[in-house]
Structure 1
Amino acid sequence: MTKQQAIQLLKEKYLSNMKQDSELFVGIELEYPIVEINGNKTNTEVTKDLFRTLAKRSDFEVEKRDDDQNPIQLVHCSSKDRILFELSYNTIEFAFERAHSIDEVAKRFEAYLKIIQPILQENNHDIQGQGIHPQWKQNDNSPVKNERYKMLMAFLAMKDTGMETHSFPSYGAFICGNQVQLDVKRDNYIRVINAFNKIEAAKAYLFSNSEFSGAEWDTKISRDIFWEKSLHGYFEENVGIYSKDYQSEGEFFNNLVKTAIFTATREGKSYYFKPIRVKDYLEQKEIKAYTADGHKKNIKPMKEDLKQHRSYQFQDLTARGTVELRSVCTQSLETTFAPIAFELGLFVQLEKLENYLKSCAFFEKEKPDYRELRKKYSKKVLSNEEKEIIQSFSKDLIDIARQGLIKRNFGEEKFLVINKELD
C-alpha cells in the first residue's frame, strides 16, 4: 500500500461529504463538569440518576446504555440534540443538532439547564462552567462502562511505548471543551484552517479556563499539555496547532497522512495499539493489539480501518464536510457562546480576516510560530509589553468578528461578551 493510496483513502473519508451550496449551519458541542457544590467528589450515582430521570420524560429517548444498562446518551425527540456522558460519569456533553444560528442553540441549552440543574441541585450537585473538573483528584475517573470509552482510557494508559507522557492518563475524564463545527467547501477549507491556525494566540488569551492544580505547568490552558503529552500526541502532527500554512490540498493531505491510527474493530470488538502513522499502517504485516480488558490479539491491517481515523488538531477537518474548531476550554455558563460567536463572526469574514492577518502589527512583532505563540500567550503571567501586543491583536479580531455577526443579521453579536482586559 503506497502513501498515495493512503492519501486517497483519507480524501474519500474527509472530502466526500463536502457541500457545494452556500448555506451555513453551525454545529455546537459543549462539555461541562458535574460538580458536588460542597467540594466533595462527584457522586456518580447522582449523575447516573439524572440520566435515568431524563429518560423517563416523554421528550427524551435513550440512544445508548452502558454495560449495566444505565442510559448514557439521550436524544431529544424534536430537536435531535444529544445529551451524553463525556468519557466519565463526572462530565456531561450537549451535542446540538446543526442550526442556522447561535440563538437557536442558546435557547435550547437554556431550556435543558432549567430541567437539569434543579434535579442535580436536589442532591447538592450542579453543572459548572469550568475547563477542568474542580474535584478531579477526588473523583472516580473511571470511564463510562461501554467498550469505546474503556478502550480509549486503556489506550491512554498504555505502557512501554517509548514516549515520555504526563502522569494523568485519565485526563479525558475531567477536561472539558467548547467546540463548534462550521460547513466548509472544497474551495475554502484550506483557507479556513490556515486563518484560524494563525489566531490561536488570541484565542488562548481570550478563552483560557483550564489551570491545573496537579502539576506546576505555567499555563492557563492545561488541556493543551494533556493532549500533546499523552499518547494522542505520540506524533506531533496528530494534535494541536499546524506548524505552517498550507499552500494546497496536496500539502494538507501529505501532513494528514502522517497522523496516527491507534484503534481498529474486529468482529464487533474494539482494539487499541501503539500509534502508527496512516502512511505506514497498511504496510504492517501484523499489529499487536489489545481489548479494553487487556486481551491481546495480533490483527492484520485493513483498508476499512482508515474509516475510524481521527486526528486531534485544533482546526480539524471532519468527515461531515465541516471544520471543527476545538481549541477552546469550557467557558463560564454566562459566556458559553462567546468563543462560538467569535469564531463564527470571523468565519463569515474570512476574506477580511485573511487580509488583516497579512499585514497586522501582531505578526510584525512576533515570528509566525503558531505553536509557540499559543504557549506564550496562555502563560499565567504576561509582561506589560506582551499584554499590550495580545490585547491589540485580540481587539482587532473581535471587531472583525462583530462585523461578521452583524452582517448575518441574527442578533448573534449579543453573545460576543469578552471578560478579558482589552485596553
Structure 2
Amino acid sequence: MTRAKELLKQRYYKPIKDQPELFVGIELEYPVVNLSGNATDVSLTKQLFVYLLNNFDFHADKFDSDNNPIQLIDQVSGDMILFEVSYNTIEFAFAKASRISEVEERLDTYLSMIQPYLRDHNHELQGWGVNPNWAKNDNRPVKSPRYEMLMDFLELSKAKNDSFFHDYPEYGSFICGSQVQLDVSKTSYLRVLNAFNQIEGPKAVLLANSEFWGSDWDLALSRDVFWENSMHGVFKENAGVFPKAFKNEDDYFSYLSETAIFTAKRGEETYYFEPIRAKDYLTRPYIEARSIQGEVATIVPNEEDFKSHRSYQFQDLTTRGTVEFRSVCTQPFSATFAPAAFHLGLLVNLETLEGILKDAPLFEVFDYDYPRIRRLFSKKKISKTDFKLILPLTEALLTCAEEGLKNRGFEEEVYLAPLQERLAALKARLD
C-alpha cells in the first residue's frame, strides 16, 4: 500500500467504529434574500450575528479579519450558526441528534429569532438551492483565511481558457445545500457508499431545487455543474458521482488516492496551489504555492498536509466515522427535513435497499452509467419515456425509506410527505 493510501485510511477509516450508535447530523444552508430583488445587504447579515450574540444564548468562536462574528455556538445544544463562504448564506450546523424531530425543534427556535429580524429589514432566509439575486449580490468571500483561500483557488479557472470550466468560480457564495451525516460501521460503510451512489438519479427527480436563474442551463439541479466543472472537478474522482461500485476497501482507497490536494498550512499562513492527486503529492520535491495575500512561495510537501485533504464526492466518508450525503439542494421550508429522513430511512433499511437496486432495470438501460443518470434526471425537461424508467425505482425507494423510518418508531416517516407529493405529481404527468 502506498503511503498516500495509508494516510487516507488513517484519516477516514480509522475513526469508523465497529458498532456505532446511529446519530443524525444535519447541516442546512440558506440564502439571505433581499425581498426587493436587490442585492443582499451584507452589513445587515453581519449585524444579525451581533444581534443574536447580544440577545440570545450564543457565544462567538470565530471572527473575520474585521472582527465581525462569523460563527456562533448555542451554549446549550452545541449547534453552530455561521456564514457559509459569503455573507449572503447562513448555515445551521446541528450537533448530532438521536432523531430528526430534535433538530426540527431547534431550527424552529433559531428561525423565530432570525426571520423577524431580517423581515424588519426587508430580507429573509428562503428555501432555494441558489440565491435568486446571485447576480446582484456582493459575492466576495467571508474575510477568513479558509474562505479567502477557497475562492482564490476556484478563481484559478479564470486564467485557463478551457471550455471545461463554467464562468462562475464564485459559485460557493450563492449555492446552498442540505447535508446529512449518518454513522456507519467498518462492515457497512462500503455498502452504504455503493448503494447510495446508485440513487443519485431518483434523488435528482425528487429533490432538484437549484435552477440557475439568469442562465440558459437546462437544469433544475445546477449544483452538480458548479462543483464538477470547477477547479474541484479537475480530477473527475474529486467531485460528484462514483462511476462504479467499489469491490473492496482497497478499491475504494485507491480511488480516493486519485482525489486532489490543493491547500496546505505553513505556520499561520494558508497556501493554495494547482490540484495534485493525493497519490502523487508526496513525490513532489516542492510545490509553487500562493498565499491569500498573493505572495508566491515554494513549499515542500509533507504528510501533515493530508490533514487538510477533503474530496467533494456526493457520498463522502468523513473524519468522524460517518458518511456525509452532500448532493442535495436546500429545500423549501415545507420539505426541510425530507432529505435527512429519506437518507436515514434507507440507511436503516439497507438490505432491502440493496435488493431493490439489484433488481432495478433502470441501470441496465443506461449501462450502469451513474454519472450520466444523475445528469439526465437533473434536467428541466425529461422525456416521458425516461420518467417511466425511473419513477418505479423512485417509488420503491420512498417505500423502503418509509419502512425504515417506521421501524425506528419515532414517527419520522411524516417528513417524507413532500417527496410523496412530488412523486404523485410526476406520476400524474404521465397519465
* Ranges in structure 2 where 5+ consecutive residues have no aligned partner: none
2:75 to 53, 74, 77: 77
CA-to-partner distance for each residue in 1:258-295, whole Å, 9 max, x for gaps? 00000000011110000000000011111010011211
The answer for the alignment partner of 1:173 in structure 2 is 173
The answer for the alignment partner of 2:289 in structure 1 is 289
- Worse-matched range after superposition: 159-168 or 299-308: 159-168
Q: How many angstroms does 1:416 deviate by?
A: 0.5
Question: 1:378/1:403 Cα in 2 relative to 1: closer, same or farther (>3 Å)?
Answer: same
CA contact (8 A) 1:34 1:92 kept: yes
Q: How many angstroms does 1:160 deviate by?
A: 4.5
Aligned residues: 421
Q: How many angstroms does 1:361 deviate by?
A: 3.3
| Residue correspondence of structure 1 range 42-81 to structure 2 within 5 A | 42-81=40-79
Amino acid at match of 2:371: R
The answer for the alignment partner of 2:380 in structure 1 is 380
Q: How many angstroms does 1:355 deviate by?
A: 1.0
| Residue correspondence of structure 1 range 189-200 to structure 2 within 5 A | 189-200=189-200
The answer for the alignment partner of 1:334 in structure 2 is 334
CA contact (8 A) 1:161 1:274 kept: no
Q: Output the CA distance in 1 between the equivalents of 2:363 and 2:257.
A: 29
The answer for the alignment partner of 1:107 in structure 2 is 105
TM-score (norm 2): 0.96
Q: How many angstroms does 1:38 deviate by?
A: 1.4
Amino acid at match of 2:207: F
Amino acid at match of 1:184: V
CA contact (8 A) 2:363 2:369 kept: no
Q: How many angstroms does 1:161 deviate by?
A: 5.3
The answer for the alignment partner of 1:403 in structure 2 is 403
CA contact (8 A) 2:32 2:126 kept: yes
Amino acid at match of 2:209: N
The answer for the alignment partner of 1:325 in structure 2 is 325
* Ranges in structure 1 where 5+ consecutive residues have no aligned partner: none
Amino acid at match of 2:409: N
The answer for the alignment partner of 1:369 in structure 2 is 369
Amino acid at match of 2:367: K
Q: Output the CA distance in 2 between the equivalents of 1:270 and 1:176.
A: 25
Amino acid at match of 1:120: L
CA contact (8 A) 1:289 1:296 kept: yes
CA-to-partner distance for each residue in 1:5-64, whole Å, 9 max, x for gaps? 110011011112112224100000000000011111100011011101001134100010
CA contact (8 A) 1:394 1:422 kept: no
CA contact (8 A) 1:395 1:422 kept: no
Q: How many angstroms does 1:342 deviate by?
A: 0.7
Q: Output the CA distance in 2 between the equivalents of 1:7 and 1:22.
A: 24
Q: Output the CA distance in 1 between the equivalents of 2:14 and 2:331.
A: 33
The answer for the alignment partner of 1:248 in structure 2 is 248
- Worse-matched range after superposition: 8-17 or 251-260: 8-17
CA-to-partner distance for each residue in 1:355-395, whole Å, 9 max, x for gaps? 11111233344321100001111111111121222222111
Q: How many angstroms does 1:217 deviate by?
A: 1.8
CA-to-partner distance for each residue in 1:150-209, whole Å, 9 max, x for gaps? 111000001545854111010000000000000011111000000000000000110000
Q: Output the CA distance in 1 between the equivalents of 2:221 and 2:302.
A: 37
| SS at structure 2 position matched to 1:72 | strand
1:348 aligns with 2:348: yes
Amino acid at match of 2:125: I
CA contact (8 A) 1:406 1:413 kept: yes
Amino acid at match of 2:362: F
The answer for the alignment partner of 1:86 in structure 2 is 84
The answer for the alignment partner of 1:264 in structure 2 is 264
Q: Output the CA distance in 2 between the equivalents of 1:161 and 1:347.
A: 41
Q: Output the CA distance in 2 between the equivalents of 1:183 and 1:295.
A: 41
Using the aligned pairs only, state the percent identity: 51
Q: Output the CA distance in 1 between the equivalents of 2:101 and 2:42.
A: 32
Q: Output the CA distance in 1 between the equivalents of 2:35 and 2:159.
A: 39
Q: Output the CA distance in 1 between the equivalents of 2:393 and 2:14.
A: 36
| SS at structure 2 position matched to 1:334 | helix
Large movers: runs of 4+ above 6 Å: none
The answer for the alignment partner of 2:273 in structure 1 is 273
* Superposition CA RMSD, Å: 1.2
CA contact (8 A) 1:132 1:174 kept: yes
Q: How many angstroms does 1:214 deviate by?
A: 3.9
